[in-house]
Structure 1
């Protein structure tokens, strides 16, 4: 009988750009205030990449820290999967660029674009590789420079987003690790949260909003996100024969504090058991879940043996979850 294999998180890492932009800073350039932003989103500040600092730069630094935490050399990697919606180039993939900088030559490396669900999607792909025996050691990264496509004159979106990266190293393990992952998408809702520009589409169809800019219908996104995350949480618990009270930590996508609180309420989980970084990071898209995970691990909140529920929702729409015995 073949022994079951799990993908265990051997190490975590993260990286944030040095520059911090507070709500008060934003109030000087658009009609808003710290009180207005914090009351509606829970965000107080966000990090912004410096000129010339790329998604790949952030990903590289997060990856180095994750490898160090795991005690793994880059040459040992069998796979690199990077979730991002703000790649350095159209091609090659940012994962390939990071692979080269790490010196992990030869292993497969590719990007996954699922917007804010990118890290959960990438984690799922790496988990399948390890479960199948195609890889024993994998690097999974979520990295974004979302502020590069923020319209700083649009207060409905400019206040929300930040830049950052997080990473995990997965190793094959016979005893513990990722128990299950669940992914979904609904492309019919694309125009509620999207960037209407691409290589094939071009700019002309969407004037006067041409340019790489985030367009979002906030109230609609909120409603769909709460419903979708509630559904995927129930799906995850049912798939593993667990009760919601079995979860030690909820580590959600850091988009909006109200969405996080709504998900926690449905789980009957006190906020003391929810990892929240949105106040300091804003919405870093695919970087948010691994950033929050790394902070929780390094602060000592998350301990070995605990049960973690990761979940995310993003443009596409995409959404997903991962249940992990850390």
Structure 2
């Protein structure tokens, strides 16, 4: 086992997507686009859209409920809740605190983590490190976003991409069967101007930002960042874990765009058929995209106990983070 292995294991998973579907045909009636154009450039056919009164905390709660219903896991002894999101219901309190309140978890810390589309891998790394340090024994990690609420549906370059969803996992101390074999993360703040949403400020340094509080993305620059940075990160992960790409059973990248995933696979040497993604019917769900893809893989009978998974998130910041995980949900 790699010396970097941590004594933490993922013991349960759950997911949730809203009921409302936004299809490519629906988008044809909203902006100048068509189904063939969208599929060719993104691989997307549908997205799920949260209701007007449905927010990130609600999606998170439903994902946790799904996890509890499927696995024999208790919430009462959770010591920390991390919600990876950039679309919390409120500036504060955090979505994590709203999750804590809903379930009445008695003695837990709770906070949101914003690494945008890399949020889930950042949060998983944080949870595993907390457990390895002996600070906590059980951490609830959620990746959730309601990106539709910050999408400009007059901008045909971005509105075709995004959907809403949530995924939750439980991470617990386990000295015998650790899940986390290696990690790699990084950032490039100079690229922040390429994908952003304005808040209290409307500038980054001397750069004036637009968007009026809606998501703005330079797709070309994000593509260049992803297809350069992620293969380099994967190489680092292989070196840290003393593993080869052939040891990886499934590659689960952020589901930003199918063309990005294809390019990353080509540059990394990962067979595309080994990749799992959630974008075809869910769109780009930001921090939720990796847990949604993983859970789809489980429900479709692709991911099995003992499989080695390569998770890699990338997004606004610019941020990126990858993990090698040995999947094992046996009780």
TM value normalised by structure 2: 0.93
Tell me the residue number matched to 1:60. Answer: 61
What is the alpha-carbon distance in structure 2 between the residues aligned to residue 313 and residue 153 of structure 1? 25
Cα displacement (A) at 1:135: 1.3
Q: 1:105 Cα shift?
A: 2.4
- In the other structure, the counterpart of 1:254 is 255
What are the ranges of 5 or more consecutive residues in structure 1 without an aligned counterpart? none
Equivalent residue for 1:73?
74
**Cα distance between partner residues in 2 of 1:300 and 1:250:** 15
Kept after mapping to 1: 8 A contact 2:249/2:308: yes
The question of whether the paired residues in 1 share the 8 Å contact of 2:202 and 2:210 is answered with no
**Equivalent residue, structure 1, for 2:119:** 118
**Which residue of 178, 181, 184 maps to 2:183?**
181
1:271 alignment partner in structure 2? 272
Match of 1:23 in 2: 24
Counterpart in 1 of 2:310?
309
1:228-247 to structure 2, matched below 5 A, reads: 228-247=229-248
Local SS of the residue matching 1:105: coil
Alpha carbons of 1:68 and 1:77: their partners in 2 closer, same or farther (altered >3 Å)? farther
Q: What do the CA deviations read for 1:147-200 (whole angstroms, capped 9, x no partner)?
A: 1111101000000100000111111112231112221111111111111x2135
Q: Give the corresponding residue for 1:193.
A: 195
The DSSP-based 3-state class of the residue aligned with 1:301 is: coil
RMSD: 1.7
Matched, 1:318 2:319: yes
Contact 2:202-2:209 at 8 Å conserved across structures? no
Is 1:86 the counterpart of 2:90 in the alignment?
no
Deviation at 1:271, TM superposition (A): 2.6
Give distance in 2, aligned partners of 1:56 and 1:122. Answer: 16
DSSP 3-state at the match of 1:157: coil
Q: Which runs of 5+ in 2 are unaligned?
A: none
**SS at 1:181 equivalent:** strand
Aligned residues: 320
Partners of 1:313 and 1:265 in 2: how far apart? 17
SS in 2 for 1:254: coil
Q: TM-score, normalised by structure 1?
A: 0.94
